[in-house]
Chain A
Amino acid sequence: KAGVTQTPRYLIKTRGQQVTLSCSPISGHRSVSWYQQTPGQGLQFLFEYFSETQRNKGNFPGRFSGRQFSNSRSEMNVSTLELGDSALYLCASSSPTGGNYGYTFGSGTRLTVV
């Protein structure tokens, strides 16, 4: 079965712009989480969605937002981009029974802000 699909793979944006990243989870997975990975901060949790509801949120400013659709696809939006937002953004989905047995990650979207 298809894995977690993230689009686009690479993105270059200018400071002040906004960006939307997309994630399609494994079919049947209802939980989708987003992470930011940078060399300095490592993997930081952004938020988690389940059945279109945000259940958990990390310590990121309000410029970072997300949503989940009825088909479990999720989008993440970053407004007013800053240079420090340059990172690999990873999406992960978990099975219907929950993420206790581990998440399946996509290959990520590498965002560069110039």
Chain B
Amino acid sequence: GEDVEQSLFLSVREGDSSVINCTYTDSSSTYLYWYKQEPGAGLQLLTYIFSNMDMKQDQRLTVLLNKKDKHLSLRIADTQTGDSAIYFCAEIVGGYQKVTFGTGTKLQVIP
């Protein structure tokens, strides 16, 4: 199956860390991604991780991958009001470039 699931909503205080979780069901995925969508805009690629990695850090972003549990998470350190957006995890499945997106998590940052 190709279902990618996320919790719908997360609220954090400015300055705290945010952790957005994602579970996927297809173990053959090779790359997993995090995208950010602000209101009225398209999707912005934040980061990606190859399936043979278990962690990737990029400035305030840390991605953790647990292949055994098919669990992906995105940690945002020192969350800012500008981080308020919808975050999508996504995976590539199969030989061609078909990306399956999660349901999206709306992150609300409280000043």
The answer to whether A107 and B97 touch (CB under 8 A), given A42-B104, A100-B31, is: no
Are B48 and A56 in touch, CB under 8 angstroms? no
Are A33 and B42 in touch, CB under 8 angstroms? no
In the complex, chain B residues whose CB is within 8 Å of the CB of A99: 92, 97, 99
Are A42 and B98 in touch, CB under 8 angstroms? no
How many residue pairs at the A-B interface have CB separations less than 8 Å? 64
Are A31 and B97 in touch, CB under 8 angstroms? yes
The answer to whether A104 and B98 touch (CB under 8 A), given A42-B103, A42-B104, A43-B88, is: no
Are B96 and A101 in touch, CB under 8 angstroms? no
Are B45 and A33 in touch, CB under 8 angstroms? no
Number of residues of chain A lying within 8 A (CB) of chain B: 27
The answer to whether A42 and B97 touch (CB under 8 A), given A99-B92, A102-B33, A108-B42, is: no
* Residue B43 CB within 8 A of the other chain: yes
Q: Please indicate which of the listed interface residues A4, A31, A35, A102 has the most CB atoms of chain B within 10 Å of its own CB.
A: A102
* Residue A8 CB within 8 A of the other chain: no
Q: Name B's A-contacting residues (CB within 8 A).
A: 30-31, 33, 35, 40-45, 48, 88, 92, 94, 96-104
Q: Name A's B-contacting residues (CB within 8 A).
A: 4, 6, 31, 33, 35, 42-43, 45, 48, 50, 55-56, 58, 90, 92, 94, 98-108
